[in-house]
Structure 1
Amino acid sequence: MQADVTAGSTAVALDDTTVAFRLADARIYTAVERARLSLEHGEFVAIVGPTGCGKSTLLNVAAGLLRPASGTVRIFDRPLTGINREAGYLFQADALFPWKTAIDNVAIGLEIQGAPRAQALERAQGWLTAVGLGAFGNRYPHMLSGGQRKRVGLAQVLIRDPKILLMDEPFGPLDAQTRQIMGNLLLELWNADRKAVLFVTHDLEEAIALADRVVIMSAGPSARIIGDWRVPLARPRDILEVRMEKDFHALHREIWSVLKDEVMKGYAQSSQAGAA
């Protein structure tokens, strides 16, 4: 059954969600504790926090890949009981099939749903064109740059028209200039139909430049959501130009004043773990 997607509806709702894992020595490790987060239909929310704080864990919970130890997860006001079929997931690492061309990597999302191959290829070509790779459909992943592979991955996710985009540091491995280009491309595609986006990043500047809201997590274990800021920057935005604005710098200082302490805690904990 398809979700009832209407303007103002809540795409993802985490209510007191706790995520815990059983370690090899039988101890219980609590990664995230009592997280409360809502993502409205058409809203772009970025999650920022120290390394190991559970940002990706929350994304996996929203995707239905992890079941919380307690609390609830709702997708468009329905309890999530398995894989989130309303979501498309773009990982940090490439998820392309190396033996398939770019167009086949994009088309496969429709083919596994039963679409005729000719129709799948036609739509895949349209999405490759939309991400600026219309002439690269016959190239294999090893023939593409890192930024080009990310474009194929983005087309691969969007061709299925998910109502929610879950993005786990998708531009992390790219150089600074390519990240800006990919950020602008993402905003351009997102602005066309305003899907709900939950975007995980280590980069506070990237989060502010892209998102409607920036959510901050504390250092783990038992990481919590400790801040939620609305971004007062007009749309449409250019990733480079928006970083020049006074409101951008003011918000960055305000959020960093909270985030920096958590980053230092996370760094100290990782250093102690490495020395142990």
Structure 2
Amino acid sequence: MPSATEAPQGPLAVHFDGVRLAFPVKNKPEYEVLAPLTLSVAPQQFISIVGPTGCGKSTLLNVAAGLLKPTGGRVLIDGAPLPGLNRGAGYLFQQDALMPWKTALQNVAVPLEIAGIPAAEAAERAQAWLGKVGLARFGDRYPHQLSGGQRKRVGMAQVLIRDPQLLLMDEPFGPLDAQTRQIMGTLLLDLWAGTGKAVIFVTHDLEEAIALSDRVILLSAGPSARLIGDYDIDLPRPRNTADIRLLPRFHELHHAIWSQLRGEVAKAYAEQAA
């Protein structure tokens, strides 16, 4: 797998080429969120980005989505510069993006209807996706009638029904309890396996990052956050995100990454307290 410091070799799902991002601040020097950063993500690769609060994890995700334009550098998608909104990406946010006046089935069908798919076909495909996420009998339920985990399953189906080749996930399981997060993580891996999709997953939970990923990318404390760690996660697949945490290698990886991460977390808290 390509590392963060290597030049890109062959086709890449995403390549951040010296990406820098800064915001203007009135009557003050600009605020640099991300120092120049180079990172490659291969097709079919699942990477997680971890780092202290405020280090620019979500910002980097928004750059890949085309929602933010880099101040410097460029983003390549499948080898071509990203000109604007990344229409080949699916984005799953931390907060629910479901329409409260639509049923689960109708919410899942929305992306197809926007794409001009006839309503009957969209509903049929949406029902199939509800089945894939274990909600075949819940299609007539409204979001307020679903648990947090069930709403997340509807949200995943809503994103995946478009068949995006790149999945951008910004702490999608953050609001859920620990047990439900593990169940959702295993479901995500089952849906992702064999699809050929690349995944960029942002999380504050280091255990979650290791359990899901092929690589864990570590950002330093901000401002001017830098890429300071790129860890290969050499755990066997397929994985159950609960069982994988029992392996000695899991704990070795956790210790190695946390040994570097905890210093950055301390820096971030000191910066915020100053």
Please indicate the TM-score interval, normalised by the length of the shorter structure. over 0.9
1:189 to 184, 188, 191: 191
Q: Distance in 2 between matches of 1:20 and 1:226?
A: 19
Q: Distance in 1 between matches of 2:185 and 2:26?
A: 40
Matched with 2:169 is 167
Matches within 5 A, 1:217-232: 217-232=219-234
1:68 to 41, 45, 70: 70
Secondary structure at 1:88's aligned position in 2?
A: strand
1:237 to 236, 239, 244: 239
Q: What is the Cα deviation at residue 23 of structure 1? A: 2.2
Greater shift in the superposed pair: 95-104 or 21-30: 21-30
Check conservation: 2:11, 2:42, Cα contact below 8 A.
Answer: yes
Matched with 1:94 is 96
Gap runs ≥5 in structure 1: 1-7
With structure 1 as the length reference, what TM-score do the two structures score?
Answer: 0.94
1:120 has 2:126 as partner: no
1:43 to 42, 45, 48: 45
Residues 24 and 139 of structure 1: CA distance in aligned 2, closer, same or farther (over 3 Å): farther
Matched with 1:3 is none
2:132 to 125, 130, 133: 130
Code of the aligned partner of 1:222: S
Q: What is the Cα deviation at residue 26 of structure 1? A: 5.1
Q: What is the Cα deviation at residue 271 of structure 1? A: 2.3
Matched with 2:5 is none
Q: What is the Cα deviation at residue 24 of structure 1? A: 4.0
Secondary structure at 1:227's aligned position in 2?
A: strand
Matches within 5 A, 1:237-256: 237-256=239-258
Code of the aligned partner of 2:163: D
1:143 has 2:145 as partner: yes
Code of the aligned partner of 2:148: G
Matched with 1:5 is none
1:198 has 2:194 as partner: no
Matched with 1:15 is 17
Q: What is the Cα deviation at residue 57 of structure 1? A: 0.2
Matched with 2:271 is 269
2:84 to 76, 82, 87: 82
Code of the aligned partner of 2:257: I
Post-superposition CA distance 1:57-108 (Å, at most 9, x none): 0000000000000011000000001000110000001001111110110001
Q: What is the Cα deviation at residue 132 of structure 1? A: 0.5
Secondary structure at 1:193's aligned position in 2?
A: coil
Check conservation: 2:165, 2:196, Cα contact below 8 A.
Answer: no
With structure 2 as the length reference, what TM-score do the two structures score?
Answer: 0.95
Q: Distance in 2 between matches of 1:217 and 1:229?
A: 12
Q: Aligned pairs, how many?
A: 265
1:177 has 2:156 as partner: no
Q: Distance in 1 between matches of 2:85 and 2:182?
A: 31
Secondary structure at 1:64's aligned position in 2?
A: coil
Greater shift in the superposed pair: 106-115 or 22-31: 22-31
Check conservation: 2:62, 2:68, Cα contact below 8 A.
Answer: yes
Q: Distance in 2 between matches of 1:23 and 1:172?
A: 30
Q: Distance in 1 between matches of 2:191 and 2:205?
A: 21
Identity %: 63
Aligned-pair Cα RMSD in Å: 0.9
Q: What is the Cα deviation at residue 22 of structure 1? A: 1.2
Q: Distance in 1 between matches of 2:42 and 2:89?
A: 14
Matched with 2:59 is 57
Residues 267 and 120 of structure 1: CA distance in aligned 2, closer, same or farther (over 3 Å): same
Matched with 2:210 is 208
Gap runs ≥5 in structure 2: 1-9
Q: Distance in 2 between matches of 1:105 and 1:205?
A: 31
